[in-house]
């Protein structure tokens, strides 16, 4: 039976430069009696990342090591990674800002679903974060992008009649509360496509990137 000392030595020998997770480097620091490996994280390529995404990607590598290198059956033991929970590179900040500045109008369904409200907006700022949400009885960590905007005007999509901005915001926030897991995907498809290229930040195989509009009056 392999012990923890031998385990970490074999992991170091098999991966002398640490685990390479799509350009993120993980260096093993220790291993528990349950064979839960603790890693230090290094980011030599200045990539955007989140610990939930990196942890799951590293888990797949560890499972391969356990199964195929050592012949061990160790299930559901996620590694522990020491580092920032989320890191956004200057490159992604710039790319996000450019995309958000091109989104000058958003669509809002009204309460009855029989009228579409359009709102002209101007981007002020944005913020990426990780938040927890309960999904089918299990707490999951997801990516959230909040787009802070100044509302300029709101109007009916068909008649172009002006709609009170506060009323339009109330409709948007009502839709957001009603859905629970509100993802403003129709307004932010360009951001979804942008984030598809950043798997170390949001692993599209299992993570969801939520995007919401926050109004600054």
Report the number of distinct structural domains present in the chain: 2
Phi-psi region of 148 (alpha: psi -120 to 50; beta: other; left: phi over 0): beta
Question: Can you give the pLDDT at residue 182?
Answer: 61
The CA distance from 121 to 108, in Å, is: 12
Q: Which of 57, 86, 115 is the last residue of a domain?
A: 86
pLDDT 10s digits, 137-187:
777 889 999 999 999 999 999 999 999 999 999 999 988 887 765 668 789
Which structural domain range is residue 22 located in? 4-86
| Mean of pLDDT values over 187-199 | 93
In the numeric block, the tokens 């074999």 are attached to: 10
Alpha helices in 65-164 (DSSP H): 90-102
pTM of the model: 0.90
- Residue 114 and residue 211 in one domain: yes
Question: Can you give the pLDDT at residue 73?
Answer: 76
Q: If 0-12 CB within 10 Å is exposed, 13-18 middle and 19+ buried, where does residue 147 land?
A: buried
- Residue 80 and residue 94 in one domain: no
Question: Can you give the pLDDT at residue 180?
Answer: 62
- pLDDT category at 16 given cuts 50, 70, 90 is very high
- Residue 69 and residue 121 in one domain: no
**DSSP-derived secondary structure for 46-73:** ---EEHHHHHHHHHHHHHHIIIIIS---
- Residue 31 and residue 72 in one domain: yes
- Closest by CA to 52, choosing from 197, 210, 157, 199, is 199
The CA distance from 23 to 41, in Å, is: 11
**Cα-only R_g, the chain:** 22
- Residue 76 and residue 44 in one domain: yes
pLDDT 10s digits, 21-52:
999 999 999 999 888 999 999 999 999 999 99
Q: Which of 41, 56, 86 is the last residue of a domain?
A: 86
pLDDT above 60 (res 200): yes
C-alpha dihedral over 123, 151, 176, 113, to 10 degrees? Answer: -120
Q: Which of 52, 71, 86 is the last residue of a domain?
A: 86
pLDDT 10s digits, 98-141:
999 999 999 998 766 677 999 999 999 999 999 988 777 777 88
Question: Can you give the pLDDT at residue 181?
Answer: 57
Question: Can you give the pLDDT at residue 139?
Answer: 79
- Residue 159 and residue 198 in one domain: yes
- Closest by CA to 151, choosing from 162, 138, 135, 140, is 162
pLDDT 10s digits, 53-90:
999 999 999 998 888 777 777 777 899 999 999 999 99
**Chain-centre distance for alpha carbon 116:** 29
- pLDDT category at 216 given cuts 50, 70, 90 is very high
């Amino acid at each position: 039976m392999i012990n923890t000392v031998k385990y970490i030595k074999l992991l170091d020998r098999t991966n002398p430069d640490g685990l390479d997770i799509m350009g993120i480097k993980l260096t093993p620091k220790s291993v528990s009696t349950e064979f839960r490996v603790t890693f230090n994280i290094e980011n030599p390529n200045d990539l955007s990342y989140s610990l939930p995404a990196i942890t799951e990607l590293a888990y797949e590598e560890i499972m391969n090591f356990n199964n195929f290198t050592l012949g061990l059956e160790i299930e559901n033991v996620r590694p522990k990674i020491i580092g920032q929970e989320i890191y956004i590179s200057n490159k992604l900040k710039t790319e996000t800002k450019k995309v958000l500045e091109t989104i000058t109008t958003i669509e809002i369904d009204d309460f009855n679903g029989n009228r579409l409200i359009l709102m002209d907006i101007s981007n002020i700022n944005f913020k990426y974060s990780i938040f927890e949400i309960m999904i089918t009885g299990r707490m999951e960590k997801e990516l959230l992008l909040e787009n802070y905007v100044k509302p300029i005007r709101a109007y009916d999509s068909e008649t172009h009649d002006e709609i009170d901005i506060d009323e339009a915001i109330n409709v948007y926030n009502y839709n957001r509360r009603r859905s629970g897991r509100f993802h403003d995907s129709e307004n932010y498809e360009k951001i979804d496509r942008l984030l598809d290229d950043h798997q170390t930040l949001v692993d599209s195989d299992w993570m969801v990137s939520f995007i919401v509009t926050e109004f600054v009056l």
